[in-house]
Structure formats: structure tokens, C-alpha cells
Chains A and B, each alone.
Chain A
Amino acid sequence: MNVKPILFLLFSIIALLSSCKPTIQHLPYLGSNKIVNGEEVRHQIRSFNYIDQDSLAFNADVLNGNIYLADFFFTSCPSICPRVMRNMLRVQKKYKDIPNFKLVSFSLDPKRDTPARMKKYAENIGADLSMWHFVHGPKDSIMAIANEDYYVPAFEDPDAPGGFDHSGKLLLIDGNGHLRGFAEGTEDEDVTEFFNTIDALLAESK
């Protein structure tokens, strides 16, 4: 029996269904889908319960309905973080007047990065704390969401500069917690192109 036509039909249906939403430039949904109770569900950032640089609760409620850009860092990071932060600052500058757009920096080093220390760091780099959150949570939990939800490889490594190995990816998350795009935060040109991706998501959610 020839399965090819059936497969082709299946794919066409999927393609048709997924193209239903009328948007100009629809960004893909990234990440692998899961099967829950026999139904396929989209990859989604899990809900969490952390605190920010002001020791205020930082959880799904704070982010719900907001498009945000996430990265992972630690204040004593001697390697890629300053470069990534400089690009986060470029994003801040470009989108500072857009309501419902946020920046979120998760610390991989909660032991040293107390909320007060992160606040000082934020002030030193010139972060606008009305749109940018610096996030403190239990280390294992932060490592898990980095690796499993945001797809940012991050782990403790005594041989790495500063004690942690991680990538400088910037992750774009939509108002429903779905991953919609990413860029290399260490690459200025990649981030410049990424502005188009952010614009597309903003347009889509209007």
C-alpha cells in the first residue's frame, strides 16, 4: 500500500489549518509540542514563581499578555554577558514606548545575585526598571526553565569563566507564553535583524 498520498494529504491539511490565522508575516511557534491526555499541545514556558530586583513577586501574572524578551546572565559574568546586555539595551531603547513589551533577565547565580545586587547592576548598566525585570529564583528551577523551556544551554561548570556555562541567546515570547523567535545576543548584526522579528510579533498581536 502506498502511504505517500495519505501523508501528503495530512501535511496539506496541517498546512491549511496552521495558515488560517490572517497575519501579514506570521512567526512560527518554536519548540517541540507535547502530547497531554492524547492531545497535542504547543510548547509553552511553564508557570513559575520567582522574585525581581525589588523582591516583588515575579510570576506568570506579571508577564501575562506581555510580549517579552528573555536572557540568562549573572552579575559577575566575565565573558559574554556585557555584550548581551548592550544588545538588550539597544532593544530597550527601540521599544521603550511600547506598552506590554518587557525585558526579562534571569540570573543563573542566585546565590550571589541577591535582588539588591541585581538592582545595583541594573542601575549601572542603565536598565529602565519600568520595562525590565531582573529575576531571582531557586537555582535548579532557573536552570531547568533555561534548558527545557527557553532552550538556552546553561549549567554550572567550575572551569567556565565565572563558574557558569551558558549561551547568550535572546528569546522572544508572545503574550501566551509561546516561544516565537531568538537571536544571538552577542552578535550585533543578528540583533539588528531580530528587530524585524520583534516588529512582526508586535504587529501580529495588535
Chain B
Amino acid sequence: MIKFINITIVLASISLLTQCDHTEYPSGKRYYNAYCGNCHMEDGKGLSKLIPSLEKSQYLINQQDKLPCIIRNGIKSMVADSSSELQLSMPANVKLSEIEILNICNYINNSWSNQQAQMSLQEIKVKLNFCD
């Protein structure tokens, strides 16, 4: 009987752990909604031509190596703040830790219809060493 209970507990904890690690990214989602949601929105779709959609973003697919740097340093708009041209730049997030950046990367990479390989903390550290 004791054995049975033990096994159940072990199985339950495994399923709990795997849920958190693989199927969803609850903490990534929390950070994303807090730091990115105002602009890219909870559904990742952004705002028309002003803020790019992160769903099916070609940039996101092609620039996986740059993603941690983008999150940390933001994107400076190319166009100077002249009177008629307008380009919203993306703000930096210098306070986010490497783990928080990791969680956000994995969340946006695997949310909505996005499907990218999962990143590890080690990869994030390496990529962050090569920011422009």
C-alpha cells in the first residue's frame, strides 16, 4: 500500500514538472505579459504596422541568435526622430535576469502558432555575450 502511494506521488510530481517544463511556459508567460504585452499584446499580434506581430514573425524565425539581445537591449529605431517619419523603437529591459529572458524566449517561441526549439540557460548566456 505504501509503495502504491509512493509511486503515485512520484508519477504526479513528474507529470507536474514536465507540465511546467515542456507543455507550457507559465513564468515566461507572466514575464511576457508584464514586459511585452503592452505592445505586442497577449495574443502576440502587435498593432498593425506600428508594432510587429510575434506570431509567424520571419524575424523571430531567422534571428533566434539575436532574440536574447533584443529582449535585453531593445531595438533602436533606424529612423531619426524627425518630424514626419515615425518608427517606434522597442525599449530595453536591463533589469531582466538571464533566467527571465530564457523564460520569455521559450514562451514566445512556442506560443500562438510558433514552434521553435527550446533554448537552454547556457545558450542564452552565450548569445548574450555576442550582443551588438
Q: Chain B's interface: helix, strand, loop or mixed, by majority?
A: loop
Q: Say if the beta carbon of B91 comes within 8 Å of chain A.
A: yes
Is B20 an interface residue, CB under 8 A from the partner? no
- The listed residue (A79, A86, A120, A161) touching B86 by CB distance below 8 A is A120
CB distance from B87 to the nearest CB of A (A): 9
CB distance from A24 to the nearest CB of B (A): 35
Interface residues of B in 34-54 (CB under 8 A from A): 37-39, 41, 46-51
Report the separation of the CA atoms of residues A161 and B38 in the bound assembly, to the nearest whole angstrom: 12
Q: Quick one: given A78-B91, A124-B48, are A83 and B41 in contact (CB under 8 Å)? A: yes
- A120 proximity list for chain B (CB < 8 A): 84-86
Residues on A with beta carbons closer than 8 Å to the beta carbon of B47: 82, 85-86, 125
Would you call A117 and B84 a contact (CB within 8 A)? yes
**Total A-B pairs in contact (CB under 8 Å)?**
51
- A124 and B86 in contact (CB under 8 A), knowing A82-B47, A86-B47? yes
A125 in contact with B50 given A78-B91, A82-B38 (CB within 8 Å): yes
Tell me if A112 and B84 are in contact (CB < 8 A): no
Residue A80 at the chain B interface, CB threshold 8 Å:
yes
- A116–B86 Cα distance when bound, in Å, is 9
A75 at interface (Cβ–Cβ under 8 A)?
yes
Report the interface size for chain A: residues with CB under 8 A from the other chain: 21
Question: Residue B38 contacts which of A83, A89, A114, A121 (CB distance < 8 angstroms)?
Answer: A83
Query: Looking at the complex, which one of B39, B48, B81, B83 makes contact with A125 (CB distance below 8 Å)?
Result: B48
**Interchain nearest-CB distance for A36 vs B (Å):** 41
Q: Mark B49-93, 1 if CB is under 8 A from A, else 0.
A: 111000000000000000000000000000001011110100100
Check A161 against B91 for contact (C-beta < 8 Å).
yes
Is B50 a contact of A121 with CB atoms below 8 Å?
yes
Name the residue of chain B whose CB is nearest to the CB of A118: B86
A12 at the interface (CB under 8 A from B): no
**Contact: B84 with A82, CB < 8 Å?**
no
Which 9 residue pairs across A and B have the least CB separation, nearest first? A116-B84, A120-B86, A126-B48, A124-B50, A124-B49, A114-B83, A82-B47, A125-B48, A82-B39
Footprint of A on B, CB under 8 Å? 37-39, 41, 46-51, 81, 83-86, 88, 91
